[in-house]
A and B are shown apart, each in its own frame.
Chain A
Amino acid sequence: MIRALRAVKWLLIAVAVVVALFPFYWMLRTALAPADDVFFDGISLVPTSIDFANFARAWDKAQLGDAIVTGVIMTGSILVLQLITCIPAAYVLAKVRIRGVGIALAIVIGCLLVPVQVTLIPTFIGINVAGLGDSLPGLILPSMTSAFGIFLLRQQMMSIPDSLMEAARTDGLGHVRTLTNVVIPMAGPGIAAFSVFSVFTHWNDYMWPLLIARSPDLATPPLALAIFQQGDIGFDYSALAAGAAIVTAPVVILFLVAQRRFVQGMSGAEIPG
């Protein structure tokens, strides 16, 4: 009976893995197949032949090299700024007993409820009034902090035992050194999880770069790929799949590297006391 249940469990997991990975596999299959193999009679899991021309076309036509560099600078800068703003804010909300912390936490949670689209146009106007339209800072600065990041890290830091904080205080550590020497190392999984989330979100963001990045040399990967999605003449699926495979690779590698900590952080693993 137990063996049968275990078999069913593994079967379900296998089905889930296939369902989750099949679109990714199909993207690679489409990217590697010759362009006229995209629409074929019947389903074939393997392309009739391997052709890397789609990758070359995607790279050249969408100028993916420049887009990836812009994307790396943008997502990297946003991540650094978010960590600089979110970690101290989360620390204050989790571990500093001062008046108003509860209200501040309520505001942070309230911000989580506001859809991004609501703040899009006011932010766009603000950034342009500040003279940062069509610039890299304009792409980065509106995302310099994250209510989700503050909340996630605060929850992670809440599980750090107060006795550790008292011990740090007894040893003469102030807030800054307590944060850097005690809290940050212990909140590592949460920070890693948020980092992966942040990179995923901003690497794949389409709407904000569409509004703010007008110069072709500021195009981010999703914007660059949009050139293959011209509805009124039909999509270039081969180039689109090849381009998507190229721009997905960095985030897949990042996820694989940070996988363990990401899962720990997202599952809210307790920090041992």
Chain B
Amino acid sequence: MPLKRLPLAIGALAASAALLSGCAASAGADPSASVATDIASCDPAAAPITVTFGPQASEAMAIAVANLEKKYPGLVVNAEPQSTTSYDDLTKTIVADIAVGKRPDLIMSGLGQLKFWVDTYQPAPIDTAALASTYQSQFLSAGTVDGTVYLAPAQISAPVLLVNQSILDQAGAGDASDIHTFDDLVAAAKTVTEKTGQPSVTIPAQGLADWYSQAFVQGSGETFVNADGTAGFGTDKGIEALSIWSTLKNDGLEMGLGDQDALAQFIGGKAAFMVYTTSVIASVQKGVNGAFDWMPVDLPSVGGEGGPLPAGGNGWIVLSDDGCRAAFANALVSELLSPDAVSGASGTSYSYIPVDSSAGEALLASSAATPQLTYAWSYDKPLSPWGGFAGAHVAEVNDAFRQMGQALQSGADAKTTVDQAVTTIDQIVAK
């Protein structure tokens, strides 16, 4: 090659590499799912379905796929678990797949992302009539938007207060089961802190600030999101509920930790009280390993009210853009929520709330049913959907809650901080 052409060839090579690295056309996709057609009119061999889910559902999926393929010979279910257990990461991979025309028929979603999927990709309704008779239908409310069930809750959890009873006993601070209101919590925490000289409560305000905020507000009987989609928690009672963070801080009771540090401090016996989720009870039990007495109790509220708490965890959403595939995806949901599959998904090593009553009874009858796990496995109170603000703005709204939670956790004035959060969120959802 003549020397003068060499730089051109090199330049062409570099340019093609750069093009491959960054430039490509975007592929469009119809955001709506198809309504399931009558499954009897569908040929299983002609409607292979694809499922995208995290490894936490692997056991349930294996059971469900085997049952479904037996029921519909010829049906192919492509169901490989993704590497990630994070609901945010799972959402990213699914959105990316849809962008290149690989829309899955059935997806696992974190309950916090329900509104995002409903508002952005219009999933098909869940065929609730096909669910097992033992499915605890009161949990369907956690997957319902505007009266339609779009998500079938599978591995679910609820906000809970974990209490180190040993510390309370040493400090003479009463019994965990006596804590019903925020005032009860503050009084017990003050007694413990006076004894130890250290802050004794942790309500993490990082990853789940929006979830805890919703739990405090709804648990106190207030509206979290108004019917018109604006923030409903700016009322006196809502502010009072959310002020638990700043009250604890200003009384020298709040430890000011992030999620994982809070968990470590509770398991390490340093935190007397921790607000977290029922799904960590099994991990806490393993970590504590009998070193001290502890108990999960219902989340306290203003005046001990008992409104529905937001559900956490995950569930199934049908995204099929084809009627027959939507029908088979719905059939797979029924199998995923059958007693056998729920037993697999909510097994004795986990503390998810069993969504099937017979699976729950089996767990409670097992030798693994400690008092702490019994709390999670027998949880049967109605749960609400997580969030409720416009799906397109979930990330921005959650950031606003994180900022509010962290400001309150550092002792900021509750009314000013909550009012500011209400204004910010209303501006976000009005866009």
Contact = CB atoms under 8 A, between A and B. Distances in A.
B264 A233 contact: no
B403 interface: no
B20 A141 contact: yes
B358 to A, nearest CB: 23
25 contacts: A38-B287, A88-B10, A123-B22, A124-B99, A125-B26, A126-B20, A133-B102, A144-B20, A145-B14, A145-B21, A150-B14, A174-B3, A210-B84, A216-B83, A224-B83, A226-B83, A226-B89, A227-B83, A231-B207, A231-B259, A232-B277, A232-B313, A232-B314, A233-B350, A235-B260
Given A145-B17, A210-B83, A231-B86, 7 more contacts: A85-B14, A89-B13, A104-B11, A128-B100, A145-B18, A232-B277, A234-B280
A213 B23 CA distance: 20
Contacts of B102: 128, 133
Nearest to A108: B14
A92 B10 contact: yes
A123 to B, nearest CB: 6
Contacts of B7: 92, 96, 98, 175
B42 interface: no
A226 B85 contact: yes
Nearest to A169: B3
A157 to B, nearest CB: 14
Interface string B166-207: 000000000000000000000000000000000000000001
A2 interface: no
Given A92-B7, A229-B85, A215 B13 contact: no
Interface of A: 35-36, 38-41, 85, 88-89, 91-92, 96, 98, 104, 111, 114, 119, 121-129, 133, 141-145, 150, 174-176, 210-211, 213-216, 219, 223-224, 226-227, 229-235
A206 to B, nearest CB: 9
B93 A129 contact: no
Interface string B4-15: 001100110110
Interface of B: 3, 6-7, 10-11, 13-14, 17-18, 20-27, 55-56, 80-86, 89, 92-93, 96, 99-100, 102, 157, 207, 259-260, 263-264, 267-270, 277, 279-280, 282-284, 286-289, 291, 312-314, 350-352
A226 B93 CA distance: 14
Contacts of A129: 24-25, 27, 100
Nearest to A126: B24
A126 B25 CA distance: 7
Across the A-B interface, the 4 shortest Cβ-Cβ residue pairs: A126-B24, A234-B283, A145-B17, A128-B100
A10 B84 CA distance: 44
Contacts of A144: 17, 20-21
A223 B83 contact: yes
Nearest to A217: B80
Contacts of B267: 39
Contacts of A211: 92-93, 96
B292 to A, nearest CB: 9
B11 A36 contact: no
Nearest to B21: A142
A232 B312 contact: yes
Nearest to A143: B21
Contact of A85 (B13, B268, B282): B13
Contacts of A143: 21
A234 B56 CA distance: 12
Nearest to B20: A141
B103 to A, nearest CB: 13
Contact of B279 (A126, A210, A232): A232
Nearest to A127: B24
Contact of B280 (A175, A215, A232): A232
Nearest to A96: B7
A111 B394 CA distance: 31
A210 B18 contact: no
A219 B11 CA distance: 34
A244 to B, nearest CB: 15
A3 to B, nearest CB: 43
Contacts of A227: 55, 83, 85
A31 B259 CA distance: 21
A211 to B, nearest CB: 5
B119 to A, nearest CB: 20
Contacts of B82: 214
Contacts of B21: 119, 123, 142-145
A114 B207 CA distance: 28
Contacts of B80: 214-216
B396 to A, nearest CB: 17
A41 B268 contact: yes
Contacts of B314: 232
A176 B7 CA distance: 10
A144 to B, nearest CB: 5
Which of B10, B55, B314 has the largest number of chain A CB atoms within 10 A? B10
B20 A226 contact: no
A251 to B, nearest CB: 20
A214 B21 CA distance: 20
Nearest to A111: B18
A169 B7 CA distance: 16
Given A174-B3, A210-B83, A233 B268 contact: no
Given A143-B21, A210-B93, A226 B282 contact: no
Which of A39, A215, A235 has the largest number of chain B CB atoms within 10 A? A39
A211 B90 CA distance: 9
Nearest to A207: B92
A89 B85 contact: no
Given A39-B268, A142-B20, A215-B80, A124 B279 contact: no
A95 B24 CA distance: 32
A133 B81 contact: no
Contacts of A126: 20, 23-25
Given A38-B287, A111-B18, A125 B83 contact: no
Given A128-B100, A231-B86, A122 B20 contact: no
Contacts of B280: 232-234
A213 B3 CA distance: 41
A125 B101 CA distance: 9
A231 B85 CA distance: 8
A121 B93 CA distance: 11
B90 to A, nearest CB: 10
